[in-house]
Amino acid sequence: MMVFCLLVAALSSPVVTEEWKADVVNFLDALVSSCVVVPCSFTHPRGPLPTSRLRGIWHRSTNHKEYIYNEDNTLIVDSFRGRTKLLGALGQNNCTLEIIDIKDHDNGPFCFRIELAKTSTDTSTTDKFSFVEQCVQFKMLTDPPKPILNHAKTAIQNHPYTVTCSVTHTCPSHMPKLTWNKGTADMATEIHREVQRGLWEVQSILTFIPEEKDDHTDVTCTAAFHEKPESSETMTLYVKRAENYNHIIIPTVVGIGTAVLFGVFCILMVKKYKTRIAELQRRDGSVLNRLSRMSRRIRSDGPGPSHSDQRRSIWSRFSRRPKGEMLDLDHMPNNVKSKSCADGKISKPRFPSPKSQPKSYNYNEDLDDGDDYMNTVELNIYGNI
């Protein structure tokens, strides 16, 4: 019976120390003159309670009475008064602490303590617990962290180019502001995310169109932390000219155009000369036809010479030897004939050299002679005979 009573008393005890738990980040970077946020959560044996019945306190681990945060500002030590506040709601088991205007001696460690009030109006507390094994300690940073730039090695002219600037911090309530020396604010997109518990990252993604004049220029990203400590990072932009095929296209177009023009010119010239040759052929044909008609008319007027005479007449026609130079053997004395034949000095008819004749021959003049010319030809023929 005694053992049973002890067991009931233990179960009905209002405070069981094994159920008081807190989850606090143990180490954080704190930028001097900026701010820091300490993530914190807790549980207690009373179950869910309204915030009005909970009292949250932060104190130094070495002295439980040296408060760096308390609802009663008069109880906070002077060096922290006005610089600390709770960001979370205690009713949601959130004990996150913010410290601004960090001093180089605010290194900690600092611990969280929870107190449960009897009622919302009765501020007296019945249960208290300090999580001295879950405290936070700061690593003081005198210089702000530098941004990190991620980008392609070379930009291409007139093509979109993206540069990403990122920086880590420990104060999400006052995020760093990232700015660029190139482009405008609407050209950049910001992203904020939690890398791990107690460490956040802010990114700025800048996209712009580089031109030829941007080659070998600087692109700078500046991070402005809370209370204006700044850091920056710079990169040199190398712009590659866009691929240009004009050195191939232009000569090809010029060559094709020249070939087309030359082909058209050749076709026109061939057509022109064909027309000219056809005209000359028609003109020559008309002359020959006219001569042929004249010859047929002469033959139709008389018996005409024999076939052998016609062949000789053709030769005589082109010789055009004057009548005075014709050799008449019928009227020569017999002794002259025999002597001349015996001496073998009979002179052959001489034909005029082509060099002594005019270089051009006018068919129209011969055609204008008409029947007189044909009569002269006929007389020459029979005179030679």
The whole-number pLDDT of residue 286 equals 66
Nearest to 232, CA basis, from 195, 272, 204 = 204
Nearest to 207, CA basis, from 165, 269, 255 = 165
Exposed e or buried b per residue across 79-109, where buried means at least 16 C-beta atoms within 10 angstroms of its C-beta:
ebeebbebebebeebbbbbbbbebeeebebb
Omega prior to 333 cis, within 30 of 0: no
Instruction: Label residue 143 left, alpha or beta by phi (over 0 means left) and psi (-120 to 50 means alpha).
Output: beta
Whole-angstrom Cα distance, residue 56 to residue 71?
A: 8
Instruction: Tell me the pLDDT of the chain (385 aa) as tens digits.
Output: 444 444 444 344 433 444 788 899 999 999 999 999 999 998 877 777 787 888 899 999 888 889 999 988 899 999 999 999 999 888 888 999 999 999 988 888 999 998 887 776 666 666 788 888 889 999 999 999 999 999 988 888 889 999 999 999 999 999 999 999 987 767 889 999 999 999 999 999 999 988 888 888 899 999 999 887 899 999 998 988 876 666 678 888 888 989 998 888 899 888 888 887 877 777 666 666 666 767 766 766 555 555 555 555 555 554 444 444 444 444 455 444 444 444 444 444 554 555 555 544 444 444 444 445 444 444 444 444 3
The whole-number pLDDT of residue 336 equals 42
Whole-angstrom Cα distance, residue 226 to residue 36?
A: 10
The whole-number pLDDT of residue 305 equals 54
Q: What is the tens place of the pLDDT at every residue in 290-341?
A: 667 677 667 665 555 555 555 555 555 544 444 444 444 444 554 444 444 4
The whole-number pLDDT of residue 199 equals 94
Whole-angstrom Cα distance, residue 67 to residue 55?
A: 13
What's the burial of 279, exposed, middle or buried (CB within 10 Å: 0-12/13-18/19+)?
exposed
Nearest to 36, CA basis, from 90, 89, 95, 85 = 85
C-alpha dihedral over 262, 264, 265, 268, to 10 degrees?
A: 160
Number of residues that this document lists for the chain: 385
Helix (H, G, I), strand (E, B) or coil at 318: helix
Residue 94 pairs in a beta bridge with 41
Whole-angstrom Cα distance, residue 276 to residue 70?
A: 117
The whole-number pLDDT of residue 165 equals 95
Cβ-contact 110, 80 below 8 angstroms: no
Sign of the four-CA dihedral 26, 171, 180, 186? positive
Helix (H, G, I), strand (E, B) or coil at 202: strand
Cβ-contact 63, 80 below 8 angstroms: no
Q: What is the tens place of the pLDDT at every residue in 227-259?
A: 878 999 999 989 888 766 666 788 888 889 899
User: DSSP letters along 125-193, please?
Assistant: EEEEEEEEEEEEEEEEESSPPPPEEEE-S-EETTS-EEEEEEEEES-GGG--EEEESSS-GGGEEEEEE
The whole-number pLDDT of residue 37 equals 95
Q: Is this model's pTM higher than 0.75 or not?
A: no
